[in-house]
Amino acid sequence: MSQPFGLRLADAMAQHGPLCLGIDPHSHLLQSWGLNDDPAGLETFSKTVVEAAATMVGVAALKPQVALYERFGAAGFAVLEDTLQFAHEANIVTIADAKRGDIGSTMDGYAQAWLADGSALAADAVTLSPYLGYESLRPAIDVAQAHNRGVFVLALTSNPEGASVQHVGASDDSVAKRIVDAAGADNAHADRLGSVGLVVGATAIDVTKTLNIDLARANAPILAPGYGSQGAQASDIRTGFGAAWPNVLVNSSRAILRAGPQVADLKASIAEAHKELNVS
């Protein structure tokens, strides 16, 4: 990779808009596409999604959900490797949604798998869980920077249990604010957009005011799940993120994937989301 991840993502968003298409091969989606819930069905599903995204303007990044490949064991990981390679050949930014988090050499091992040149699982970026402490992620952040790749750190999630950890602390010292501020420090000298991103649920954005969190200041790409099937509307997302909106990568998965299995129908669904997200 010749450019830092943040710059490559910024270029992709400038060309395609803010849509990140999740590749979530749930059992019920495979079946609704007329596919078997097995590695062969997984492969057909994944390649079809990449094909739909690769042949049109509208998708800035693809985000395969690692757990839904991992459930098939080694065969599932083989499909994931091929999917990442297919997306790479199509010049689409990839984010492996693995939510890895550990310490020391173990964290470094995850980093080598998901972020190092030469690894068959290497994506352009990977999601990370910081709840062993933000600095526990340092091995992955260092490997990402060395290979011009990126990370997305869970900061504010919309699941009901998230608040019990992320909101702890005074308004100026919550766990979430510490994570956002630490990412901002790592992005302080980046051009245009940093390579240490944040995951902020589109349905959790209102709490940033309560916790005194300044997302724009972090200069971080922001991966925002919650659009589409989870209920967040495009206009609400733009308003909620405010000054940080230009940095927001809005994820949609099931709402678009339900349109399959025909590539033309997936393209139409992508185009509809693209239009909605790009209305100012």
Cα gap 66→194, rounded to integer Å? 24
What are the DSSP calls for 128-152, one per residue? E--TT-GGGGHHHHHHHHHTT-EEE
What is the pLDDT averaged over residues 59-64?
A: 98
What is the pLDDT averaged over residues 257-269?
A: 97
The count of C-alpha atoms lying within 13 angstroms of the C-alpha of 124, restricted to the half-sphere facing its C-beta, is 28
Cα gap 85→12, rounded to integer Å? 18
Q: Is the pLDDT of residue 187 over 80?
A: yes
Average pLDDT taken over every residue of the chain? 95
Predicted pLDDT at 279: 67
Predicted pLDDT at 216: 96
Q: Is the pLDDT of residue 178 over 80?
A: yes
Predicted pLDDT at 231: 65
In which residue are the tokens 């080694």 written?
74
Q: DSSP label at 227?
A: B
What residue ranges do the domains of the chain occupy? 5-277
Cα gap 110→89, rounded to integer Å? 24
Q: Is the pLDDT of residue 102 over 60?
A: yes
Cα gap 86→90, rounded to integer Å? 6
Q: pTM of the full predicted structure?
A: 0.96
Q: What is the pLDDT of residues 212-255, one digit of tens each?
A: 999 999 999 999 998 875 667 888 899 999 999 999 999 999 99
CATH number attached to the domain at 5-277: 3.20.20.70
Predicted pLDDT at 182: 98
Task: Give the residue numbers annotated as catalytic, written as ranges.
Answer: 99
User: In this structure, are strands 61-64 and 196-200 parallel, antiparallel, or unpaired?
Assistant: unpaired
Give 171's pLDDT tier (boundaries 50, 70, 90): confident
Q: DSSP label at 203?
A: T
Q: What is the pLDDT of residues 11-27, one digit of tens each?
A: 999 999 999 999 999 99
Range with lowest mean pLDDT among 32-36, 41-45, 160-164, 216-220: 160-164
Q: What is the pLDDT of residues 114-131, one digit of tens each?
A: 999 999 999 999 999 999
Query: Is 66:278 a contact under the CB 8 Å cutoff?
Result: no
Cα gap 244→246, rounded to integer Å? 6
Predicted pLDDT at 203: 86
Q: What is the pLDDT of residues 133-156, one digit of tens each?
A: 999 999 999 999 999 999 999 999
Alpha helices in the chain (DSSP H): 5-16, 27-32, 39-54, 67-70, 74-89, 104-115, 138-146, 163-166, 175-186, 207-210, 234-241, 254-257, 263-277
Cα gap 95→126, rounded to integer Å? 5
Predicted pLDDT at 272: 95
